[in-house]
Amino acid sequence: MKHKEEKVFILVVDDSDLICHTLKTFFSNYNLEILISHDGLDGIQKAAVHKPVLIFLDLMMPNFDGIKMLQVIKVLDNLKDIPVIVISGNANRSNVVAAIETGADRIISKPLQREIILKNVSEVLGEEFLNKLKKTNLFSTTEVKDIKRELCGYFLSSFPQKKNIIKEALDEADHELLKNIMHEIRGIGGTIGYPNLSLLGSIIEDQLGGKYLNWEKLRVMCDQVFVAVKEIEKNYKESEK
C-alpha cells in the first residue's frame, strides 16, 4: 500500500468516452485518481509514467488494440506486475482467451456493473485496498439511481454525434466504424439501466462479424437503435420533471 501523501492511480484504457466516464463515476467515492487513455500505445506510456496499481483494458480499440498492449506490458520489467482487468463485450470470444493466456488477471463482461467491478478490484488488490481509500460510506440506493441518471444524461448528450457516425458508416458500408460504435452501445446500455439497448448493439455487432453483410438489414436494425434511444430520452426527460 502506498503512503497517504502519494497518489494512487488506476488506468482505464478504452476508446469509449462513455465507458471511461462510467468507471470514473464508479470510483468517485474513493481517493483514487483515474487516468484515461483511448489507445493501447498511449496506455503503455501512461502506465510507464504513473505506475498505476491497476489497469482496466478494453480489447477492441482501433490502431493499437488491447491484446497488443497486454503483450507489451507483460514483457516490460517495470510494468509486468501491474494487474490487468480486461473489459469485454463477449466473454466467449477468442481474443478473450488470448487475453487470459497473455496474462490478464480478470475478465469483466459488459455492460459494466459497479458491484462486479468493485468485487474484482478487491479480489485482485486485496479486500482492504478499497476500504482504506473510501471517502464515505458506499452509495445508497438513491445515489446509485442518481449515478445511473447522470450516466444516462451523458450518453444522451453524446448520442447525436454517434448517430451521425452510424449514418456515415451505413452510407459508406464501413463495417469497422459501425462495429466500434455498436461495441460501445453494447457496453453502455445495461449500465444506464436499458439492457434492450445493449441487446440491439450486441446483435448488430455480431452481424458485423459475419462473412456476408446485409446492409439493408443493418440499416433497419440501426433504425431500431435510434428508436430505442428516443424512448430513453423521453423517459429521461420525464424523470427530470
Q: Do residues 116 and 197 both lie within one domain?
A: no
Give me the half-sphere count of Cα atoms (radius 13 Å) on the Cβ side of residue 38. Answer: 8
Range of the domain at 42: 9-133
Q: Which residues of 47-68 are buried (b: 16+ CB within 10 A; e: fewer)?
A: beeeebbbbbbbbbbeebbbbb
Query: Is there a domain that residue 184 lies in?
Result: yes
Q: Do residues 32 and 81 both lie within one domain?
A: yes
Pairing of strands 84-88, 106-109: parallel
Note the pTM of the prediction, 2 decimals: 0.74
Q: Do residues 117 and 211 both lie within one domain?
A: no
CATH number of the domain at 24, please.
3.40.50.2300
pLDDT, one tens digit per residue, over 157-182 is 989 999 999 999 999 999 988 988 89
Is 60 exceeded by the pLDDT of residue 73? yes
Give the percent of the chain with pLDDT over 90. Answer: 46
Where does the pLDDT of residue 95 fall: very low under 50, low under 70, confident under 90, or very high at 90 and above? Answer: confident
Q: In whole angstroms, what is the distance from residue 198 CA to residue 182 CA?
A: 9
Where does the pLDDT of residue 216 fall: very low under 50, low under 70, confident under 90, or very high at 90 and above? Answer: very high
What local confidence, expressed as pLDDT, does residue 4 receive?
45
Is 80 exceeded by the pLDDT of residue 87? yes
Angle at 239 between CA 234 and CA 241, to 5 degrees: 100
Q: Do residues 60 and 168 both lie within one domain?
A: no
Q: In whole angstroms, what is the distance from residue 21 CA to residue 18 CA?
A: 5
pLDDT, one tens digit per residue, over 26-49 is 898 899 999 999 988 999 999 999
Alpha-carbon radius of gyration of the chain: 18
Query: Is there a domain that residue 3 lies in?
Result: no
Q: Do residues 124 and 33 both lie within one domain?
A: yes
Quote the mean pLDDT of the chain: 87
What local confidence, expressed as pLDDT, does residue 210 receive?
81
Q: Which residues of 220-238 are buried (b: 16+ CB within 10 A; e: fewer)?
A: ebbeebeebbeebeeeeee
Query: Is there a domain that residue 24 lies in?
Result: yes
Total number of domains in the chain: 2
CATH number of the domain at 192, please.
1.20.120.160
Query: Is there a domain that residue 4 lies in?
Result: no
Highest mean pLDDT among 70-84, 86-100, 143-157: 70-84
- Which contiguous run of DSSP H or E holds residue 51? none
